[in-house]
Structure formats: C-alpha cells, structure tokens
Amino acid sequence: MAVAEAAAASASAPSYSPFRQTASQAVSNAGYVFDVVVSPLKDLVAAPTSAGAIHLFDASSLAGLGSLVVADDNRDALKQVIFDTANPSLVYAGSASGAVRLWDVRTGQLGLTFQCDKPVLSVAINSSQTMLAAGTELVGEDSEICIWDVRNHQTPAARFLECHSDDITQLRFHPSNPLAMISGSTDGLLCLYNLETLEEDDALYQVVKEDSISKIGFFGPQYEYIYCLTHMETFSLYKFLEGDKVFTFGDVRGEAPATKVDYLIDCAYDERGQRMFLVTGDQNGNMAILHVNLGHLDVVHTLNGGHRDIVRGAAWDLERGTLISGGEDGVVTLWQNS
C-alpha cells in the first residue's frame, strides 16, 4: 500500500452526506466534558468531566445511562478514561493522585488500582490485555511512564524516566501489535517503543522531534502510519516502524481557508475507503472535518450549532455514520450522516 493511498492522498475530496444534529445532552454540574470515549462494542459512550465524574450514554440515541463519580476533589482530579478492550463494561480512569483505577460502569464497583508516584495524564492498554501503561506530569525533574503486567497490579513492571522531560500527554499501543507503543509529550518528542524488553534504553528505538504534542494515533491499512497533532496546531504524518516523516502541514489554522479553524481536536481513519480525516474546531463550538491529502486539506463537513464553547473530544464512527462530540460547555452531542 502506497503512502499516498494510506494517507488518503486522492486528487479530490470524497463525497459524504452532510451531518445533522440528532440529540444533545447537557451534563448538569459537570464542569466541562474533556473527552468522549466509545466502548469497543460501540454501544456505550463515556464522557469524563472536569468535576470528576464519568457520564454514560447510549451511543445510538444519547439516552442517559447514569454517571460514576471517580474523583471528588482537585487532588484526585480525573485526567483520562479508556475502555478495557476485552470487557466493554470496564474503564480505566487515570487521575491527578497518580492512580489508575479500574471501574465497572454498569455496577459502579471499583476494581484494581494501579499506582504511580506522580499525577497521571495519559493511559493505554495493549490489544492482548497484558500491559497497562500510564504517562505522568512533570514533577521536579522527572516525568515517567509506568508499565504494569495487568496480572500484577501492585508494582509496575517498568518505569521509564529518561524518555521525556515534560508532561506525557499521550500514550498509544499499536492496535494489533501488543508490544509496540508510542508516546508524546509537551517536550515535543514523539517516542517509539518495542516492549519485547522492558529495559528503557533498549525498548526506546526511535525519537522524533515535534512541537508540544497534544494527540497521537495510528492509521493505515495495517496501522503502519502515525499522526501527530500539537498544541501549536500543527499536524504531521509519520511511518511507524521507521519514524520517517511522510508529510507535515504546519499550522493548520492557515491551511483551510474555506472554514474557520482555531484548534485541532483529533483524527479519524476510514478503513473502508482508506482515507484520513482531521477534526477541527473554533472558539464558538463549531466543528469542521478536513479530508487529508498529502499536499492539502479539503473541508468535507461543517458541524455547527451543537456546542457553544471549545470542543474537547469527537468520536466519529464512519461505518455507522455517527459522530459524538463533547466540550467545555458541558454538552454531549450526537450527529448523524448515514
């Protein structure tokens, strides 16, 4: 598969039906919604909030399914939530206390606790359910990546202290290779790991210099590419195994004159069409979806009126034609374009 195909480098933008807003839920007393996370079965949506609760919704209708309070003060503020990839009723919640806790969202029961020494910012679990990783804030001179064997939650199997020199904002395991991981940090480094060994010097095999990193992820037919979004609103694509740069768009705010772009939210990959998309937003809560060509970005959707403030998270299910967004206005919105 050529790079141009995997990165959706077609001569013209694809044709998709417009989005329409079908449901919206205001989360009361929640502060802001800082992400929306869809379960592996795509039936459940978790919306973690700055007030320390995880609000649950039906993914097809946005009907409320209750909430789970997992942090009740600033010292234990909620930082990131991910679903367990094998059991969609379980979520891992990382917090400012340095704990990653396993919760059953159906029963509200607390399960295992994995403890770091520093506030946790990012969490990831691998495809084989054998490794859990957490990235922390910078405290003193150190930030760290803690890696646990999930069968032994008492003590991390490894602590990586030298890979990053600032907050570790993102961790991602490869979707099909359980021993491949990437990390991103506000120090501007994108790090690639082979976790066949848990010795830090040997596990880290490639470092890419970027700006302060906000989002990273895998894409491509075999997930052989990486995308990287930064707090400077730049956007780059890389080959995963080599770490070679495929293309960089620089500051995207000037790359899409057909719509207003103030910040980048995340990316979505269309596996059937092998096309890449970038989801962006403006200060008034409007969103735009840009089709990624290797040389330019084309606006294919605008989603207006669903939010009144910055959109923090967007999950687009291209197969079902739904997108769920959440933002600083404390609102979760369901959009449909099938």
Q: What is the pLDDT of residue 294?
A: 81
267, 229 Cβ separation under 8 angstroms: yes
Structural Rg of the chain based on CA atoms: 19
The predicted model scores a pTM of: 0.92
Q: Residue 4 — φ and ψ, nearest 5°?
A: -60, -35
Q: What is the pLDDT of residue 49?
A: 93
Give mean pLDDT, residues 174-195: 97
CA distances from 118 to 54, 159, 270, 309 (A): 22, 12, 37, 31
Q: How far apart are CA 338 and CA 330, in angstroms?
A: 26
Give mean pLDDT, residues 51-56: 92
Percentage above 90 pLDDT, the chain: 78
Amino acid, single-letter form, for residue 167 = D
* Domains, the chain: 3-336 (2.130.10.10)
CA angle 99, 100, 105 (to 5 degrees): 130
Q: What is the pLDDT of residue 30?
A: 67
Q: Residue 132 has what DSSP assignment?
A: E
Q: Could you tell me which residues are beta bridge partners of residue 215?
A: 229
Using the structure block, give the residue that is written with the tokens 């080599």: 242
**Is 335 a residue whose pLDDT tops 60?**
yes
Q: What is the pLDDT of residue 11?
A: 41
Give the mean pLDDT of the chain. Answer: 91
pLDDT digits (tens, 9 = 90+) for 279-302: 999 999 999 999 999 888 999 999
pLDDT digits (tens, 9 = 90+) for 303-328: 999 999 999 999 999 989 999 999 99
Q: What confidence category does residue 9 fall into, taking pLDDT thresholds of 50, 70 and 90?
A: very low
Q: What is the pLDDT of residue 2?
A: 40
Give mean pLDDT, residues 63-71: 90
Q: What is the pLDDT of residue 15?
A: 55
Q: How far apart are CA 54 and CA 103, in angstroms?
A: 10
Listed residue (75, 65, 64, 68) closest to 53, CA to CA: 68
**Is 258 a residue whose pLDDT tops 50?**
yes
pLDDT digits (tens, 9 = 90+) for 216-252: 999 999 999 999 999 999 999 999 998 999 999 989 9
